[in-house]
Structure 1
Amino acid sequence: MAKTLTEMAVELATAQASHATMSDEDMETYLTKTFQTLKHLKDVEEGAEITTEEPAEPQLDPKKSILKNKVICLECGREFKILTSKHLQKEHGMDSKEYRQKYGFSSRQSLAARSLSAQRRATAKKHKLGEKLQANKKARQKKA
């Protein structure tokens, strides 16, 4: 008896999870992407008309796109440690300011994974970069 797409997606996800630790969120994302890929392949195999239009609305809530260990681009769905201006410009023809406006992020919102931001913050505190910055600003003001 032929397996359903759901059964195949679950088998693939189970095999992946047996080799790598995956959070519930990662497992859900993996299952969804695997199912969509299998469905797309089935449609291609059956000769169905394939549409490659981008969805009008993001598939993910913008607030949930910035996670602990990754940032998900709301335009294409790819995952990054940091969502760079280079990616946004090259792939989507927009800069980070336009991206933030489109999805309702504040201009001060970092487009980096929370763990990366925390790591950078800890390094800056360890090397006392804030104190050095203030000292340099005062020194420049005295010269002016």
Structure 2
Amino acid sequence: MSSILVELTANIVSSHAATVEMSSDELLQEIQKVYAALKNLDSDNVIEEGTVAKEAAPAISPKKSIQKDQIICLICGKGGFKTLSRHLKQAHGLKASEYRKQFGIASGTPLAAKNYSEARRQSAINNNLGEKLAKGRATRMANLAAKKATLEKPKKSVPAKAPKSAAAPRAKKK
């Protein structure tokens, strides 16, 4: 039975590795995880809560993961990212909100390096993006109000046309 598990594990991991770039360490970890999961399914054992909690434990603490120059993924421990959302989607299939919920990170906390966030903020200030946004919103609201006003104007009543007399039917053309 274990040869079948090994074969299934190889097929699953090779399919996954074909779509996601993995280092040799990550590949070994993936093989071990998949094999253990298949073995649990094979033996029909109920997974204990301790093993589930062990898998959900972050690689490092959430506070330490957001640093000045980089952000570190709490799932796999990879670092060097300026923002984490793309890595989460590609490597782990998670949305930022799911990641925050999984590790108890506040929803207002950006998943980006502090220096990167500050640089983006400063760039927005330098380019007057706040003023442009306010101006655009005001224009949009004025357009919506004007459109609403034109739709609410009462329509002029058109006098009803006199019905056609039934005495003279039309002749059909040949």
What's the secondary structure of 1:71's corresponding residue?
A: coil
Letter in 2 for 1:93: G
- In structure 2, the residue corresponding to 1:101 is in which secondary structure? helix
Q: TM-score if structure 2 supplies the norm length? A: 0.50
Q: What residue is the counterpart of 2:118 in the other structure? A: 118
Q: For the pair shown, which has the larger CA radius of gyration, 1 or 2? A: 2
Distance 2:55 2:78 in 1: 15
Letter in 2 for 1:105: I
* CA apart distance, 1:70: 0.3
Q: Give the residue type in structure 1 aligned to 2:106.
A: S
Tell me whether 113-122 or 59-68 shows the greater mean CA deviation: 59-68
- Output aligned runs, 1:93-112, within 5 Å: 93-112=93-112
Q: Does 1:68 align with 2:68?
A: yes
Aligned counterpart, 1:128: 128
Query: How far apart are 1:56 and its partner, in Å?
Result: 3.7
Give, as a single letter, the amino acid of the residue that structure 2 aligns with 1:72: I
Q: Are the aligned partners of 2:59 and 2:75 in contact in 1 as well (CA < 8 Å)?
A: no
Q: How far apart in 1 are the matches of 2:119 and 2:73?
A: 21
Question: Which string of whole-angstrom CA distances, capped at 9 and with x for unpartnered residues, describes residues 73-109 of structure 1?
Answer: 000111111102x321222121111001111112221
Partner of 2:57: 57
TM-score, normalisation: structure 1: 0.59
Cα offset for 1:55? 4.1
Equivalent residue runs for 1:1-144 within 5 Å: 52-53=32-33, 55-79=55-79, 80-84=81-85, 86-144=86-144
Structure 1: gaps spanning 5 or more residues? 1-39, 41-50
Q: Partner residue of 2:10?
A: none
Aligned to 2:148: none
The alpha-carbon deviation at position 52 of structure 1 amounts to 4.3
| Higher relative contact order, chain-length normalized (CA < 8 Å, sep 6+) | 1
Q: Percent identity?
A: 40
In 1: Cα distance, 2:70 partner to 2:112 partner: 7
- The residue type paired with residue 83 of structure 1 is L
2-side partners of 1:123 and 1:100: how far apart?
26
